[in-house]
Structure 1
Amino acid sequence: MSKKGKSSLGRALIRDRMHKGARPDSFRHTTELKDGYDWSTNMQSITEQNDLDEFLATAELAGADFTAEKLNIRVVTELKPTGVLSEAEKKAQNDLYQQHKDSIRVPRRPYWDARTTPEELAANERESFLAWRRELAELQETEGIHMTPYEKNLEFWRQLWRVVERSDIVVQIVDARNPNLFLCEDLFAYVRETSPHKKCLVLLNKADFLTESQRKSWSDYFKNRKDELKVVFFSALEEAAAKDDVEEVSESYRDDGLISGDFIRLSVEEYSSALWTKDQLVHLFRTWHTGTKYKAGSTTVGLCGYPNVGKSSTINAITQCKKVSVSSTPGKTKHFQTIILCEDLILCDCPGLVFPNFVSSKAEMVINGILSIDQLRDHVPPVSLVLSQIPRHILEETYGICIPHPPEGEDPDRPPTSAELLNAYSYNRGFMTSSGQPDNPRGARYILKDYVNGKLKYCIAPPGIDQDEYHKYPPPKRSTPSATIPVHVRMTKERVLGTEDIDHEFFKDQIVKVGFKGRHLVKSGLTASGASIVGDKKHHKGKKREKLRRLHQHKDA
């Protein structure tokens, strides 16, 4: 290709970038709105920072000159609890969390009006965001509270602020297997502060993992709350699997007669544990709130929540086509997007945000899909947490492996260790390192992803419900030797028995046949070593001696 041909592509891209304002509005993305912000900034989610990076980022956010002071910085790190906590530690943490429950808040957007310039608004937002981070840091340091590594990039919170301001109905999507971990109650408080006319809804996605009785328990729990949050149970996976025609789905949105009004028009006090369909969900959005200043006669529904709870999957299930990209990696959606579902309904997908919340350890966030498994550095704590929830026989039946039992002197009922599980799993799958050892980090990633995807299912009970009664596992299907005889007993038995005894035990039941050769009675069969015999001698030696005897007789003659 000529030099001129190489440069023409670059010029075309530059012209397109310089004249993109001339494109019609239908081709514009939400991030191209002229609201005074530079949406081309780096939208990289920041949930975890070491102490030095956090200090430098905070100083930069405050606009302070820290060049002369950074040489005098002394960074002190504290060890945080990882893995499985004891019952006493869990109770102490829960008491502490209940005491400071109202202190965990989401950042508020400062007041602004038409007279506020974009520069003033940006400065006020940075100042408010910095004050919010300082409050949470002080709470962690003084009270010793462990929190989720919440989102520390201001651009992501700006996305949330705009979604809340534009939406008539704010839907917070949570994972039905552990709703309280994903539910941010202060987000709904912020929505009501923005406007008392906005509606709030909790959508428990992935509810197909729950049984009818489990959904009933959570339905009763939300019904008995003081705030009486409206909740629905939904499964984006089941709805996406339904192969409905797109035109028929669009017609069902316009025809209210296709949907049972007695079922879908639920008041705030009424709760149902049944799985809602996409048609029922759309009907609720259309009839619950009408009219908005964003677009006259239409209702805007904003979908918010943690990463990997299924916001994008819910939109694709409702529209029955791929409107937004879906990924199991947290943080796939970078900017909020608007999807016009029909004439009077607009969906707004907000990027996944890690809200500040109480958490026992980082491992809890890993197994719930909040933090990326592929970027995990220490696999032992999350795998140990999975082993504390999933029984031994479920893991053995799911993966077809035999996990070693505790050695003599240890508690025979204790759960397996991460090394015991991962060694058995990695050997079985052929995950080996170059030195011939099992590749446990690789095996851990597969097991943790199976837990997040629901292959290893564990559902958390609502407060006040016994966990053992809420989630019951089926008994073992069969009792195998590996499940009844400990490894050290089996190895000792094999060493005592020996190879010769095993051969003797195997060949002792061989049938010995009796027959006649001429006038002599001979026995034929197998020796313990497997050689054939004729009479009292091994017949291959007898034939050789008989041949030599006849040869000598012929020479003498």
Structure 2
Amino acid sequence: MVKKSKKSKSKRVPLRKKYKIQRKVKEHHKKKAKEAKKLGLKQKHKVEKDPGIPNDWPFKEQELKALEARRARAVEELVQKKAARKERAQKRKLGLLEDDDISRLADGAKGSDNSVGVGKNRDNSDRAFYKELVKVIEASDVILEVLDARDPLGTRCVDMEKMVMKSGPDKHLVLLLNKIDLVPRESAEKWLKYLREELPTVAFKCSTQEQRSNLGWKSSSKAAKAAKPSNILQTSDCLGAETLIKLLKNYSRSHEIKKSITVGIIGLPNVGKSSLINSLKRCHVVNVGATPGLTRSMQEVQLDKNVKLLDCPGVVMLRSGESDASIALRNCKRIEKLDDPIGPVKEILKLCPAKLLVTLYKLPTFDSVDDFLQKVATVRGKLKKGGIVDVEAAARIVLHDWNEGKIPYYTMPPTRNQGEPLEAAIVSELGKEFNIDEVYNSETTFIGSLKSVDDFNPVEVPSSHPLNFDEKMLEVCVLF
């Protein structure tokens, strides 16, 4: 008896079956193609060929010569561009070509009129920001000018305040000292006393929470009961919101006819205008960030049925006397757009003791500004191709740390001259409408809980002078 093989049978498809399948597929495709042809779905559009230049045209030879000349110029320009790219790549490899040179060379290809266009665009943006500022002032009953508590005079704009005063007797200006947690108690108290001799002034600390809603508030009584003064500095809750809202409510109630008021918030870039609105509203309703110029237009936020807030873009149209270093240290200009970021760092090294910078950036020692920046770049890993130290990148790191408060500093108010006139009449008149005494009494609780100079150990720097608008720009913008 023959045993059957235990091996599995072949799974190969017989040729007879394979050819049958192929024939069926071919017939199916042919049928689909016929149907598509009937419906006109696959009609090929004929490409019209260039007929060329007719032989009987009298200017044919001239046109052919011009065409050859254009082709020759195009080839020559292509060769020149390749050579220029190769040369720039070689310079970049050797570290001889800076980022500014690269951008300038790239812009040069667009024509010599490009620089004029950039200047026009900058002027147009300044005028657009100024128009938004004018709209905010005209639509507001109370204008809050936000100041940085670290340098209130440096972030104050006298011309902006004059605009508010000239806009009418119904406009009331209030100063708001923001970022109060970044300065010691002695500085905060003296600055509040100094500024309140001119205008009503309130202290404030914006919320630093990143959640979308339910931003925390800390009342004055809770802040006063804090076990340690460091709790106020470490908390992410908002401080002073109750005091500010009480001041606005007092003004709203003091007018019998008009119960609802509009509050415009103005100030230089990056003093915390948008963060102030989010803190009062207790949710992120406007964009915030450490970059100057983030707010581009006026934004309306309804705080409640009686108070409406207007956010305004920071306007900086400075006179020619302002240096880039002073503008950069006030964070009025984007650090990435600075032509010389090393200049402001030199000013920082003049103001700050070497011991603080050595501890902050974990350096052994340094002799000069160049040595300091080279060591910072080495520690932070800021190197170009070929291992060349990127000094400008290190300078921008130091400027970011200065503006974000990682390098703690504060200023003290200057002494007033005996003959300097004070706006006592204006302050007393506004005090009745805002009920200032009640507001100030509730504010002193958390101001007294701030750290002192001995516990805080920040750097005391001289106070800057107030900023002024460019008079030429003002004259141009008034025409709009």
- TM bucket, shorter chain: 0.5 to 0.7
CA deviation profile, 1:282-302 (whole Å, cap 9, x unmatched): 121121245999x96311100
- The answer to whether the Cα contact below 8 Å between 1:291 and 1:299 also exists between their aligned partners in 2 is no
In the TM superposition, residue 189 of structure 1 has moved relative to its aligned partner by 2.5
Within 2, Cα distance between the matches of 1:385 and 1:280? Answer: 37
In the TM superposition, residue 426 of structure 1 has moved relative to its aligned partner by 1.4
In the TM superposition, residue 381 of structure 1 has moved relative to its aligned partner by 0.5
1:449 equivalent to 2:400? Answer yes
- The answer to whether the Cα contact below 8 Å between 1:303 and 1:349 also exists between their aligned partners in 2 is yes
Within 2, Cα distance between the matches of 1:259 and 1:453? Answer: 25
Q: Aligned ranges for residues 399-478 of structure 1 at < 5 Å?
A: 399-405=361-367, 417-464=368-415, 474=457
Within 2, Cα distance between the matches of 1:248 and 1:435? Answer: 49
- The answer to whether the Cα contact below 8 Å between 1:291 and 1:298 also exists between their aligned partners in 2 is no
1:285 equivalent to 2:248? Answer yes
1:233 equivalent to 2:233? Answer no
Tell me the SS of whatever aligns to 2:385.
coil
1:343 equivalent to 2:313? Answer no
In the TM superposition, residue 430 of structure 1 has moved relative to its aligned partner by 2.0
In the TM superposition, residue 355 of structure 1 has moved relative to its aligned partner by 4.7
Q: Which amino acid letter does the alignment assign opposite residue 288 of structure 2?
A: V
Within 1, Cα distance between the matches of 2:259 and 2:327? Answer: 41
CA deviation profile, 1:432-463 (whole Å, cap 9, x unmatched): 22121221111111111000000002222222
CA separation of 1:245/1:327 partners in 2, compared to 1, >3 Å: closer, same or farther? Answer: closer
Name the Cα RMSD after superposition: 3.8
1:204 equivalent to 2:177? Answer yes
Within 1, Cα distance between the matches of 2:404 and 2:327? Answer: 14
In the TM superposition, residue 187 of structure 1 has moved relative to its aligned partner by 2.2
1:213 equivalent to 2:186? Answer yes
Under a length normalisation based on structure 2, what TM-score does the superposition of the two structures give? 0.55
CA separation of 1:357/1:232 partners in 2, compared to 1, >3 Å: closer, same or farther? Answer: farther
1:383 equivalent to 2:345? Answer yes
CA separation of 1:57/1:441 partners in 2, compared to 1, >3 Å: closer, same or farther? Answer: closer
- The answer to whether the Cα contact below 8 Å between 1:389 and 1:458 also exists between their aligned partners in 2 is no
Q: Gaps (5+ residues) in structure 2?
A: 1-112, 222-237, 417-451, 460-480
Q: Which amino acid letter does the alignment assign opposite residue 234 of structure 1?
A: F
In the TM superposition, residue 177 of structure 1 has moved relative to its aligned partner by 1.1
Tell me the SS of whatever aligns to 1:204.
strand
Q: Which amino acid letter does the alignment assign opposite residue 232 of structure 1?
A: V
CA separation of 1:171/1:151 partners in 2, compared to 1, >3 Å: closer, same or farther? Answer: farther
Q: Which amino acid letter does the alignment assign opposite residue 200 of structure 2?
A: K
Q: How many percent of aligned residue pairs carry the same amino acid?
A: 28
- The answer to whether the Cα contact below 8 Å between 1:199 and 1:289 also exists between their aligned partners in 2 is no
Match of 2:154 in 1: 181
1:300 equivalent to 2:265? Answer no
* Count of residue pairs brought into register by the alignment: 296
Match of 2:135 in 1: 162
Within 2, Cα distance between the matches of 1:150 and 1:459? Answer: 33
Q: Gaps (5+ residues) in structure 1?
A: 1-51, 62-148, 253-257, 261-274, 406-416, 477-557
Tell me the SS of whatever aligns to 2:386.
coil
Within 1, Cα distance between the matches of 2:369 and 2:413? Answer: 28
CA separation of 1:455/1:150 partners in 2, compared to 1, >3 Å: closer, same or farther? Answer: farther
Q: Which amino acid letter does the alignment assign opposite residue 343 of structure 1?
A: K
Match of 1:504 in 2: none
CA separation of 1:243/1:55 partners in 2, compared to 1, >3 Å: closer, same or farther? Answer: closer
Tell me the SS of whatever aligns to 2:345.
helix
Aligned match for 1:367, one of 301, 321, 329: 329
In the TM superposition, residue 180 of structure 1 has moved relative to its aligned partner by 1.1
- The answer to whether the Cα contact below 8 Å between 1:302 and 1:349 also exists between their aligned partners in 2 is yes
Within 2, Cα distance between the matches of 1:394 and 1:300? Answer: 45
CA deviation profile, 1:471-503 (whole Å, cap 9, x unmatched): 788599xxxxxxxxxxxxxxxxxxxxxxxxxxx
